[in-house]
Structure 1
Amino acid sequence: MESTNRNWSRRQFMGSIAGAGAAVMMNPFSSWAKSPVDPTVAAIIAKTIGTDTHNHMDVPFNAEEFKTLQYDLFGEMKQSGFSAICMTFCVDRPKLTKMGEAYERFILSLDEMDEMLKANKMKRALNLADLKEAHKKNHPIVVQSVEGGHFIEGKIDRIEVAYQRGLRHLGLLHDGQSLVPLGDIYTNPPHFGGLTESGIEVVKECNRLGILVDLAHCSNEGIDDALKISTKPMLVSHTGLNTQLGSNEKMAQMMMPRLISKEQAKILANAGGVIGVWTHLADSPTVYAKNVRAMVDVVGADHVCIGTDSKMAPPSNSNERFGRKTNLTWGDGQEGFLYYVVDAMLKVGFTEDEIVKIAGGNYCRIFDAATSV
């Protein structure tokens, strides 16, 4: 593996990110919170481009149904404290049955998200400069993400189509196998011994174009294969340590195949990668902060981020199938997600510098490295 990602100066990068918000004494997003915000928490959030590296924005595979739905993405993001989310969708639910179906769903979803962003007066970030500019203007922004390369269907040129539509974050695999398989999924029996030739080709094309590759849902062998051939840093956007199982035994058993071992986490971090900690096994902000701490203790504060695997703005006039809001992860969400998390991180002993990295700086670093071509 080439070492281009290792030569990145973390100190210089973090200095530039922190400096962009140093003049802001209070986070301008805090005025959207439903209850008073601790000034210390608000000031820390103001210093970083707070980013949720895996947040679902589900849209229906039905253009007429989409016209009836309302998404308050702008308002929910303002309340959350995040400057950016990796706006993620998938096309493998319901199960794909024929060639061409995944691509049709993919293009329709992008069309619908174009309309959603327009209605919310928001845009996609194509590079780090876009993230920094949005943060400077106190205006939420999204990184367009898809979970699973099903839409490619063996046609590598479709990745460039996706790139031209604003995709900058590609999750290689998801729950359902692609009709042209890309590799072993960690919740399914292994068949390929890691990535397939098609999967390897996708990683290389993403490197060439400038798309960040997300290895969540890949088997350990698949992660190792990707690390061998990628010239850019990668991430696993949403997981947790397999030693941090929480108090809900049923949930822990269900999530165990999706958790990462300390050994595999170190392999990814040593290659310059970043690991997102999700909320599924944390029943409070404090438990979540402790789960983040456990990951940091294994790989270091430069290799951890926030990847909630939640939904920022389910349509307000829909049924429950669209899921629960990020800001309602714990309780009534009076302060917004990131405010709860930063407060809890301070209470369990994180320093301000560590929080700035984990809350967004680390993702921004690898996003910049991946999208710079």
Structure 2
Amino acid sequence: MPIDWTLIETRGADALHDTIVEMEGWAMPLDAAAQSASYFLLSADAPCCGGCMPRCPATSIEVFATQPVRMGDDVIRLRGRLLRLQDDPAGWRYQLVTAAPTAAQPAAQSARVSRRVFLAAGAALGLAACAPGRFANYTEGEAGADTTWTPLPGALTIDIHSHAGRVIVSRDPKIGANRPFLPVAEPMRAGGMNVICLAIVTDTTAVHVAASGNRFEAFRTPEPGELYQLGMTEFARAQRLIDKEQLHVVTDAASLADVGTQGPSVIIASEGADFLEGRIERVDEAYTQHRLRQLQLTHYRVNELGDIQTEPPVHGGLTDFGAEVVRRCNTLGIVVDVAHGTYDLVKRAAATTTKPLVLSHTALSGSPRARSRLISAEHARAVADTGGVIGVWPNAADFPNLDAMATGIKRMVDVVGVAHVGLGTDMLGFIKPPVFTSYKQLPALAAALLQAGFTQAEVGQILGGNYRRVFEATVG
């Protein structure tokens, strides 16, 4: 049965839970450059600019299609099963699952204009001015407020944790390591992002989305050598992306200082040390052969290094092998990332390390729930006490917009001090769309931080200066 958006806005669609419906709207994928997608948002309203994503659950719903749907410039009509959501962590009210496109009715087409026509009209009227530029005046709050961030000479912006370019090997074996990349250098230049810690992931073949649809979990025991081979495949894929996008690879303090003349740059990182498979010599191999300079100890598997936040503890924190890896990273000059690790893991890592730690992507919670990726104040202080940095992420379940994210950063600063907070976007690593989906939004985030009360210098610390200190202290 066809339904319109008033039923979504008024929640009248609750009565249609688990029934087949038809809906029309504008399809908006998480990856703005994607030509097709099987997961996307369907919005009642056309976007105000090419980089905008709908945020209002009264005028947009999540769509899970049976196969990739072409992302065109016109209104699309979909047929699928409507599900009512209860207490969804991202705030959505409804999902359209097992969805597939149908032929749009002529009356519906005549009632709307295409997105291309809408955007063209918006540009003519000056509406497209909401698209961010390089640290232009921008605010999500009071109109006309002066929220221009002016970085100090030589300052660098650094994302502590990113999967930009779609560097991760797909979990779909039909696509695997050969799916096309997304642009990296262009959005970095447009938004003023200088360096990203480009993170491969080395447990994807043994991890999937849980039945709840809200988190990842390990679902099988990998074969011996499987995750090592996956790591080698991912390192090779990262190198192909670097070559394609002509990115500068940072390996030490000197090459970091050269970023200003080299353009968009990356620090090679690994999310999870699963590829080690208990062999310490593989740390040296990754450092030498693949230029690894940041290693996250755990991810979504309880591995040989320690326990994770999203599963019951097995080891009591960091294992002896995990401590050996921390010491080897200190010696070689690899930043140790304790994201996803339990508080007990972080405490032992902090007692073991001789260099600052980072916890690359999380947010603060007064009382984190079981399986939560958020951290307590004590957890954050354990990292900060090493001289380290906690990267605050843009998860929509925690922050509905960039202003709220800036407030979340302020809460973290109140706990550990401004010298110990950074930005970890987890770009392209979320199940559901976050509030920061492109580096073109960096000026908007800087503006939100200024509006939250940070000074110009403090914004510079948060957006890169603090991590630069840790990197230089670790790598030399």
Could you tell me the TM-score, scaled by structure 1's length? 0.78
SS at match of 1:89: strand
* Partner Cα distance (1:344, 1:325) in 2: 19
Q: Is the 8 A contact 1:47 1:356 kept in 2?
A: no
String of CA shifts for 1:42-68, please: whole Å, max 9, x gaps. Answer: 523875211110112323487985455
Deviation at 1:336, TM superposition (A): 1.6
Partner of 1:177: 302
Partner of 1:53: 160
User: Is residue 236 of structure 2 the alignment partner of residue 121 of structure 1?
Assistant: no
Map 1:35-184; keep pairs closer than 5 Å.
Answer: 35=132, 37-38=136-137, 41=148, 43-44=150-151, 48-56=155-163, 57-60=167-170, 66-67=177-178, 69-95=180-206, 96-134=221-259, 136-137=260-261, 139-164=263-288, 165-178=290-303, 181-184=304-307
Q: Is the 8 A contact 1:269 1:299 kept in 2?
A: yes
- For 2:161, the aligned partner's letter is H
Q: Is the 8 A contact 1:310 1:324 kept in 2?
A: no
User: Is residue 424 of structure 2 the alignment partner of residue 300 of structure 1?
Assistant: no
Q: Is the 8 A contact 1:83 1:138 kept in 2?
A: no
Partner of 1:8: none
5+ long unaligned stretches in structure 2: 1-129, 138-145, 207-220
- For 2:459, the aligned partner's letter is I
Question: Mean Cα displacement is larger for which, 62-71 or 47-56?
Answer: 62-71
* Partner Cα distance (1:300, 1:110) in 2: 35
- For 2:278, the aligned partner's letter is G
**Counterparts in 2 of 1:65 and 1:93: CA distance versus 1, 3 Å:** closer
User: Is residue 355 of structure 2 the alignment partner of residue 232 of structure 1?
Assistant: yes
Deviation at 1:126, TM superposition (A): 0.3
Partner of 1:265: 380
Partner of 2:24: none
String of CA shifts for 1:214-268, please: whole Å, max 9, x gaps. Answer: 0011111111111111111111111111139xxxxxxx968x7211111221222
User: Is residue 457 of structure 2 the alignment partner of residue 353 of structure 1?
Assistant: yes
* Partner Cα distance (2:356, 2:222) in 1: 33
SS at match of 1:52: strand
**Counterparts in 2 of 1:307 and 1:101: CA distance versus 1, 3 Å:** same
Deviation at 1:346, TM superposition (A): 0.8
Partner of 1:241: 364
**Counterparts in 2 of 1:35 and 1:219: CA distance versus 1, 3 Å:** closer
* Partner Cα distance (2:199, 2:263) in 1: 19
SS at match of 1:44: coil
* Partner Cα distance (2:174, 2:186) in 1: 24
Question: Mean Cα displacement is larger for which, 346-355 or 70-79?
Answer: 70-79
CA RMSD of aligned residues (A): 2.6
* Partner Cα distance (2:452, 2:316) in 1: 40
* Partner Cα distance (2:250, 2:405) in 1: 28
Deviation at 1:359, TM superposition (A): 0.5
Map 1:188-337; keep pairs closer than 5 Å.
Answer: 188-243=311-366, 257-280=372-395, 281-311=398-428, 329=436, 336-337=440-441
**Counterparts in 2 of 1:66 and 1:271: CA distance versus 1, 3 Å:** closer
Could you tell me the TM-score, scaled by structure 2's length? 0.62
* Partner Cα distance (1:92, 1:211) in 2: 20
Of structures 1 and 2, the one scoring higher in RCO (CA 8 A, sep 6+) is 1
SS at match of 1:85: strand
SS at match of 1:235: strand
* Partner Cα distance (1:186, 1:90) in 2: 17
- For 1:76, the aligned partner's letter is P
String of CA shifts for 1:165-189, please: whole Å, max 9, x gaps. Answer: 11000000001123xx211111111
Q: Is the 8 A contact 2:302 2:314 kept in 1?
A: no
* Partner Cα distance (1:41, 1:47) in 2: 17
Deviation at 1:351, TM superposition (A): 0.4
SS at match of 2:159: strand
Structure holding more strand per residue? 2
5+ long unaligned stretches in structure 1: 1-32, 245-251, 313-321
* Partner Cα distance (2:393, 2:152) in 1: 19
- For 2:419, the aligned partner's letter is D
User: Is residue 471 of structure 2 the alignment partner of residue 364 of structure 1?
Assistant: no
SS at match of 1:59: coil
SS at match of 1:137: helix
The number of residues matched between the two structures is 316
Q: Is the 8 A contact 1:87 1:144 kept in 2?
A: yes
Deviation at 1:324, TM superposition (A): 7.8
**Counterparts in 2 of 1:98 and 1:311: CA distance versus 1, 3 Å:** same
- For 1:265, the aligned partner's letter is A
* Partner Cα distance (2:433, 2:291) in 1: 25
- Return the index of the structure with the highest Cα Rg: 2
Q: Is the 8 A contact 2:302 2:311 kept in 1?
A: no
Partner of 1:17: none
* Partner Cα distance (2:385, 2:392) in 1: 18
Question: Mean Cα displacement is larger for which, 195-204 or 72-81?
Answer: 72-81
* Partner Cα distance (1:46, 1:215) in 2: 31
Q: Is the 8 A contact 2:169 2:204 kept in 1?
A: no
